[in-house]
Structure 1
Amino acid sequence: MSRAAIIGGGVIGGGWAARFLLNGWDVAVFDPDPEAERKIGEVLDNARASLPAIYDRPLPAEGSLRFCESIAEAVTGADWVQESVSERLDLKHRVYSEISLSLSEGAFIASSTSGFKASNLAAKGAPVVVVHPFNPVYLLPLLEISGAPELCEKATTIATSIGMHPLILKTEIDAFIGNRFQEAVWREALWMLKDGIATTEEIDDAIRMGFGLRWAQMGLFETYRIAGGEAGMKSYIEQFGPSLQWPWTKLTDVPELDDALIGMISEQSDAQSGHMSIRELERLRDDNLVAILRALRHTGSGAGGVIATHEAKLEVAGEIEGLPITLRRAVPVVWTDYNGHMNEAAYLELGSWASDGLMQMIGADAEYVASGKSYFTVDTRIRYLDEVHRGEMLTVTTQVLEGAGKKMKLFHRVIKEDGTVCATLETLLLHTNLSTRRACPPEAAVADALEDLAKAHSDFSAEGAGGSVGDRG
């Protein structure tokens, strides 16, 4: 089992702990804050309800979490040491000196710094590499990496394995790439506030209602390429390039953050969001990110491509009471309705993916579908036996009731973490030729695999199968 040491358990450190823990790593945390365990526990509550909801395959079994009394205790034997202490270079150097005393041979220190260059961090000889994440660390995949090439390579391998997107900086710069963009937008926003042009809410609306949505899946240059029309980027630059010389922005000038401006920002921000606690805002942020990331994952765009690549390495395996597990998924907020529980459409989607999991088991996988044949659903009956809410982890087992000729009849049991069966889905599928769109016999290998499962499952009970609508038996 791989082990990560988290030195500094604030917002970023807690996010790192969640990212590693939910990807199957054992995690040891050191933070002198007496509230660290509570704070990280709350971050983990959010992460457990959101990160698994992005994926259609289960993440590895969660690792163990322990809180340590010293840096040495946390670091000893760690495969990854993550430093997330305050942005003070003298403090970081002191921490590195203490970490180095217990660092395993060949190991390194990964720093969450927001702006210091790796050469500054490693100036006193510690093996430090910059791994700058974005909050929340457990959801956002970008990781800006900078430092000695051999350390960057090691960090990249591990970061990719936990579902992150490493961006290695070719040139050392203060604040890296992402923070420089954020700083530029922040400066302009401060001037708009100071000059009375817009409020905090109006500035946020301009981002979240407009270009922020485009940036989430295309970034800057692809967005502008489209803006150039059929002629592309060259046309865009020819049309809009001259405006860069116009006095639209004040990016080269920074307003003084005096008491008046700070007071204005604080007052407007309180009016905008003060009705929600920080934890409520975090859950809202996470729910929104899960919905966006799942949409991007479906198309493989932007961060969605990172999730899809990581998910392809995850496996659905195992059995429950002799029946194969065909799906394991956390409930995303988009599966819930105004009553706060999972709705009918979500159960159908869950059953669809479970059927797909069974199809993969018998060889009717993506390659088989690409060859021109698949199974189409023709009938489904759902029984709702218990409420299911946001963030709950559901496991689906599948029993083959019938598997002969063109027919495949399945019985899915949807099981909560406490073992409660919260729903069943009985579904009939017909093997279909994708060219003619008509039913046809499956290929021999698929037919044989399905028949074998049907025989293996024939002695199992299927309570609730074969009934009519309204029959709860």
Structure 2
Amino acid sequence: MAAHAQNRTAAIIGGGVIGGGWAARFLLMGWDVRVFDPDPEAGRKVGEVLDNARRSLPGLSDVALPEEGTLTFHDTISDCVAGAEWIQESVPERLELKRKVYQTIQEHCAPDAIIGSSTSGFKPSELQGCATRPGQIVVTHPFNPVYLLPLIELVPSDINAPEDVERAKGVLTAIGCYPLHVRKEIDAHIADRFLEAVWREALWLIKDGIATTEEIDNAIRYGFGLRWAQMGLFETYRIAGGEAGMRHFIAQFGPCLSWPWTKLMDVPELTDELTNQIADQSDAQSGMHTIRELERIRDNNLVTMMRGLKAQKWGAGALLNDQDRRIDQLPETLDDVADLSAPIVTVARAVPLDWTDYNGHMNEARYLQAFGDATDKFMAMVGCDADYIATGGSYFTAETHIRHIDEVHAGARIRVETQVLLGAGKKMHLFHRMFEGDRLLATGEHMLIHVSLETRKASEPGPTVAAPLSRVAEAQAALPRPEGAGAAVGVR
């Protein structure tokens, strides 16, 4: 593939997990990427990271990403960095190795190229020690996976020109990252110091026989990890302080710092000066919101994240799925249905916060999701369940018609009642009605065709599905044809 003449160019020195992530981030944001790594397997490894990035990163955006750049591999650092605007060093964490790499890079790169280091621990002044042009080198520490997580700790030293720091911020922002400007050099920067503190405490908990690795992970992913993911540390604690705010939180929980709750007991004294500094910064960060507003923002974020985890059957989402199974009162099979001659309830739930749109009511796509869930439930009830699908048969939706009749808002308890209009041969024709109480909200009409998953063509269903489906169709044959069934858009 020919290089795009208009593309900017990044050079990646070191094609491991982090270097491969950087390559994927730049490439999918429209940059041409040049990679150097002496590992003969580097091409395969970077390619596999790139495959993961291609399937995940574009879905974060609601607009099309730039056209993907061109990826090339180079046998020498000198060839790799030629013409590069940004050079990202991701070699192993050995200072002497990094300094040697910088010497080679600077012999052959443009004098105004930015050289960023992925180091998780070294300060920029240490990296710059033997450099020809020390002001060209900054720390740009990412988090894995680099192609998904936006945080980049941008750490300059006193000799980095402010305009170069701003230029680095511009590049990182342009590829979808958040450059956190660390204004003072410190070992391990900011984020890794938190991780190291948690890691050290976790090691003690395991050594003392208090918790296992899984129990420690569960403490994080089922609790404060979710809060931190959307509000961080101080905004979370601001809410904990209630209407009295951050000063009240510090007054209430500050004494805990002197209690033996942790092995890490070297803590600063909570003087009035430090308390005021924290409270003032918290006011600047979050003071535009009342506590009640922050609570609602927090709840919206938590619901959205936890429901996303439900779809992946992971972490707190897996717990929610287990709870759903425990409390679900819908029939599992046709034998659990009291009266097959009446429409069958296939969905009973509340409208979640993340199902609403800018008009404050349920998004039209979620009506389709609810009706799709109703179809899936009915399919399972007539025997087209996971076990049947594993044998190679299933139903594909051929046509759908939804009528939006009334509004529904977050928190409303809705139910879907399903009527079979046709259940014979390869066809399954369903009509769903959505209610809140007695109020009709919407209808969904769906024509499904049974297919062979091997040929992807229409096929007759197996007897374990055909017979139960026919049983329901015959039982409901006497029901009146629903209003709106067979209607086209705009036709009354």
TM-score, length of structure 2 as denominator length: 0.55
1:203 is matched with which residue: 203, 216, 221? 216
Query: Is 1:188 the equivalent of 2:201?
Result: yes
Listed as ranges, the matches of 1:11-410 within 5 Å are 11-123=17-129, 124=131, 125-126=133-134, 127-147=136-156, 148=160, 149-251=162-264
SS in 2 for 1:232: helix
Q: State the shift of 1:48 in Å.
A: 1.2
Partner of 1:470: 447
Q: Which residue identity does 1:206 align to in structure 2?
A: A
The alpha-carbon distance between structure 1 residues 171 and 297, as it changes in their structure 2 partners (threshold 3 A), is: same
Question: Contact (CA 8 Å) 1:378, 1:429: kept in 2 or not?
Answer: no
SS in 2 for 1:214: helix
Task: List structure 1 runs of 4+ shifted beyond 2 angstroms.
Answer: 296-301, 332-337, 375-381, 422-430, 468-473
The alpha-carbon distance between structure 1 residues 427 and 155, as it changes in their structure 2 partners (threshold 3 A), is: farther
SS in 2 for 1:51: helix
Superposed CA RMSD: 4.1
SS in 1 for 2:108: coil
Q: Which residue identity does 1:155 align to in structure 2?
A: A
SS in 2 for 1:101: helix
Q: Which residue identity does 1:196 align to in structure 2?
A: G
SS in 1 for 2:172: helix
SS in 2 for 1:190: helix
Deviations 1:265-300 (A, max 9, x none): xxxxxxxxxxxxxxxxxxxxxxxxxxxxxxx99979
Q: State the shift of 1:251 in Å.
A: 1.7
The alpha-carbon distance between structure 1 residues 470 and 115, as it changes in their structure 2 partners (threshold 3 A), is: same
Partner of 1:290: none
The alpha-carbon distance between structure 1 residues 90 and 23, as it changes in their structure 2 partners (threshold 3 A), is: same
Q: Which residue identity does 1:218 align to in structure 2?
A: M
Higher relative contact order structure (alpha carbons within 8 Å, sequence separation ≥ 6): 1
Quote the Cα distance in structure 2 between the aligned partners of 1:210 and 1:378.
Answer: 28
The alpha-carbon distance between structure 1 residues 103 and 211, as it changes in their structure 2 partners (threshold 3 A), is: same
TM-score, length of structure 1 as denominator length: 0.57
Taking only the aligned residue pairs, the percentage that are identical comes to 58
Question: Contact (CA 8 Å) 1:377, 1:428: kept in 2 or not?
Answer: no
The alpha-carbon distance between structure 1 residues 116 and 469, as it changes in their structure 2 partners (threshold 3 A), is: closer
Q: Which residue identity does 2:32 align to in structure 1?
A: D
Q: State the shift of 1:104 in Å.
A: 1.6
The alpha-carbon distance between structure 1 residues 201 and 94, as it changes in their structure 2 partners (threshold 3 A), is: same
The alpha-carbon distance between structure 1 residues 228 and 116, as it changes in their structure 2 partners (threshold 3 A), is: same
Quote the Cα distance in structure 2 between the aligned partners of 1:139 and 1:167.
Answer: 16
The alpha-carbon distance between structure 1 residues 251 and 24, as it changes in their structure 2 partners (threshold 3 A), is: same
| Greater radius of gyration (CA) | 2
Question: Contact (CA 8 Å) 2:82, 2:108: kept in 1 or not?
Answer: yes
Gaps of 5+ in 1: 254-295, 305-331, 338-344, 346-352, 357-365, 385-421, 433-467
Deviations 1:7-32 (A, max 9, x none): 00111101101111111111111000
Question: Contact (CA 8 Å) 2:400, 2:447: kept in 1 or not?
Answer: no
Gaps of 5+ in 2: 1-6, 267-296, 314-346, 348-354, 373-396, 408-444, 450-457, 459-492
Deviations 1:325-346 (A, max 9, x none): xxxxxxx998789xxxxxxx9x
